[in-house]
Structure 1
Amino acid sequence: MKVFVTGASGYIGQAVVKELLDNGHSVLGMARSEEGIRLLQALGAEVHQATLEETDKVLEGVRQSDGVIHLAFNHDFSRFAQNCADDCALVSAMCEALEGTQKPLLITSGILIVDLPAGALAKEDSPCKTVAQSPRAASEDAVRKAAQKGVRAAIVRLSQVHDVHRQGLISYAIALGKEKGELAWVGSGESQIAAVHLSDAARLYRLALERAEAGAVYHGVGESGVKAADIVRAAGKRLGLPVRSIAAQEAGAYFGWLNMMASSDMPASSERTQQQLNWTPRGPGLLHDLDNLA
């Protein structure tokens, strides 16, 4: 099928584009910059030039394709709530454009959207936070409403996507540690973070698009939980930085907006996803990639 991919020139997007092309699909990749256009053309994708703010242009790409993977998101965390509202509006517009077509749409969310007590295992059917608790929940809500109208829209919740170059939000924590001259975990360091290798995440998107069911939730999880202290120690060893534990009371001042991730304890399962999609994660683990940071 011809697949429209937003965020196609990004870190995850490039891997998804390659996965789709390697498995017989064609790609219409959205890009906003000349660099992104050149990158997608080099991969062998057709390019659709548009920005997230140009809804009409984005919808042109949706209508030209047989399926849609929505990866793009504005990661300016200083205006996170507004970015989430904008994403919800775009997702809603995509869903409306796909009504009556049976074309699949995958949107991207995150494991941290799940509303469970600390340490509980997040599953595909676990309760989701409200929009008041997490603004990004609005996009998931939009998909659920569209699915009730027969739109073949589904949700991919990602854990921390990694290779030797990037490790999701952990990369921001590492950059912060470099600035501060030390890396830290909160409390005992026993809290857990779920992770998935980039190659496995890309394969998940491809399989989910091919088999998507309306309203389905898929979890991009390769490792259900990696301990925070182990993550910090691995990165510290590789970078030659000291590591330490900080008290929960200090975490907000140290981590800033990253405290949500740093202080969370949310292992996650992808058992149902693996069964439904015949998807088996097989990439290197998070600690392996941290040991070999590029």
Structure 2
Amino acid sequence: MHILVTGATGWIGSHLVPLLSADGHQVTGLARSDASAAALTGAGHGVIRGGLADVDVIADAAAAADAVVHLAYVHDFSDPAAQITLDRGAIGAIGETLAGTGKPFVFASGTPVGPGRPSKETDLGLDGALAARAESAQIALAFADRGVRTSAVRLPRSVHGTGDHGFIAQLVAIARSAGVAGYVGDGAHRWNGVHVDDAARLFRDALYSAPGGTVLHAIGDEGVRVKAIAESIGRGLGLPTASVEPAALGFLGMLQTMDHASTSTVAQDLLGWQPQGATLLDDIDAGHYFD
């Protein structure tokens, strides 16, 4: 297949694209920067220049592809509404272009906050701080009714591994600056996670065989208490661990006021996917977050 991947040089994309290439597929990546374009061409992949705002470029690239994986997302927490608008523009461009073709369209979303229990694939997550991106996922999934084989891969709060610059790396930076590895409240709230290699495999598996309208959770750790995460960071930095006010951790402090445990039953039962990579705590304890 000829597969269009947005975010092809990003954290998950850089692990997914080699899997697709190894299976004999032709990959074209949407590249906003010269560095991303050079990385793709250097690895023998195609390049379409543009960003998420370039909906006509995205639509044309989707029309030329046999399948689309949408991973790109601008994680600018200073203006989340603008990033949601960008994302929905790209989703609409891809979905409208693929309508009636039966082609696969796999996109990244996030696991919802569980309603007093670990969240499941059937939970919509249309309430609370993470609702806007869940609404975007519903817009994308609705294209299944218009002849697109859509599937959502919901990602946990931490997609971890060597080279990760996400939330765990940010918590490490905050702890190093503050001189203490902090957690919110009593630290009992849970943080879900998956190794980046396992996440990439689930996107590949969804692309190949997930039925239209499927929601999948990429979950390795269903829930690790945030206090345990802070303790692991403290060990790695040689710092004490303490409860702190949410503001001390910024956006991540707000996230720690909620419980993020999730299950991955559908991914395992429907696609036979199983997490194989290191656990979140093992990955932190391995030391690469402190280099």
Q: TM-score, normalised on structure 2?
A: 0.93
Letter in 2 for 1:204: L
135, 141, 147: which one pairs with 1:138?
A: 135
Match of 2:209 among 208, 211, 230: 211
Alignment of 1:2-151 (within 5 A): 2-111=2-111, 114-118=112-116, 120-130=117-127, 134-151=131-148
1:134 and 1:25 mapped to 2: Cα distance? Answer: 35
Deviations 1:117-138 (A, max 9, x none): 34x1111112321488622123
**C-alpha RMSD of the superposition:** 1.7
* AA at the equivalent of 1:147: A
Equivalent pair of 1:131/1:137 in contact (CA under 8 Å): no
Q: Is this contact kept in 2: 1:6–1:72, CA < 8 A? A: yes
Deviations 1:121-157 (A, max 9, x none): 1111123214886221231121232222232111110
CA distance in 1, matches of 2:275, 2:24: 21
- Number of residue equivalences: 287
1:287 is matched with: 281
Deviations 1:36-69 (A, max 9, x none): 1121123332111111111111112211111000
Matched residue, 1:179: 177
The equivalent position to 2:263 in structure 1, one of 269, 274, 277, is 269
Q: CA deviation at 1:261?
A: 2.0
Conservation of the 8 A alpha-carbon contact between 1:163 and 1:197: yes
Judge which range, 231-240 or 154-163, deviates more.
231-240
The answer to whether the Cα contact below 8 Å between 2:110 and 2:134 also exists between their aligned partners in 1 is: no
The answer (yes or no) to whether the contact 1:29–1:45 under 8 Å persists in 2 is yes
**Structure 2 residue aligned with 1:226:** 224
- Contact map agreement 2:55 2:89 (CA 8 A) in 1: no
Given the superposition, is the C-alpha separation of residues 97 and 277 from structure 1 closer, same or farther in structure 2, using an over 3 Å criterion? same
> C-alpha offsets along residues 192-213 of structure 1, whole Å, 9 cap, x if unaligned?
1111101101111000000122
**Structure 2 partner of 1:170:** 168
Residue identity matched to 1:137: A
Deviation at residue 79 of structure 1 after TM alignment: 0.6
Query: Unaligned regions of 5+ residues in structure 2, if any?
Result: none
Kept in 2, the 8 Å contact 1:85–1:138? The answer is: no
**One of 254, 266, 286 as aligned partner of 1:260:** 254
For the residue of structure 2 that corresponds to 1:77, the secondary structure is: coil
Residue 252 of structure 2 aligns with an amino acid whose one-letter code is: L
* Farther-moved stretch of structure 1 (46-55 vs 63-72): 46-55
Secondary structure of the corresponding residue to residue 89 of structure 1: helix
1:199 and 2:193 correspond = no
- Assess, with a 3 A threshold, how the Cα gap between structure 1 residues 73 and 25 changes in structure 2: closer, same or farther: same
Deviation at 1:170, TM superposition (A): 2.4
Letter in 1 for 2:27: V
More displaced stretch, 61-70 vs 134-143:
134-143
> How far apart are the structure 1 equivalents of 2:268 and 2:43?
28
One-letter amino acid of the counterpart of residue 180, structure 1: A
Give the secondary-structure state (helix, strand or coil) at the position aligned to 1:105: strand
Separation of aligned partners in 2, 1:239 and 1:40: 35
Distance 1:54 1:131 in 2: 30
CA contact (8 A) 1:115 1:129 kept: no
Cα separation, partners in 2 of 1:131 and 1:211, compared to 1, 3 Å: farther
**Distance in 2 separating the partners of 1:131 and 1:156:** 20
SS at match of 2:79: helix
Flag the 1:136–1:127 CA change in 2: closer, same or farther, 3 A.
closer
Structure 1 residues 30 and 133, CA, compared in 2 at 3 Å: closer, same or farther?
A: closer
Query: 2 CA distance for matches of 1:102 and 1:254?
Result: 48
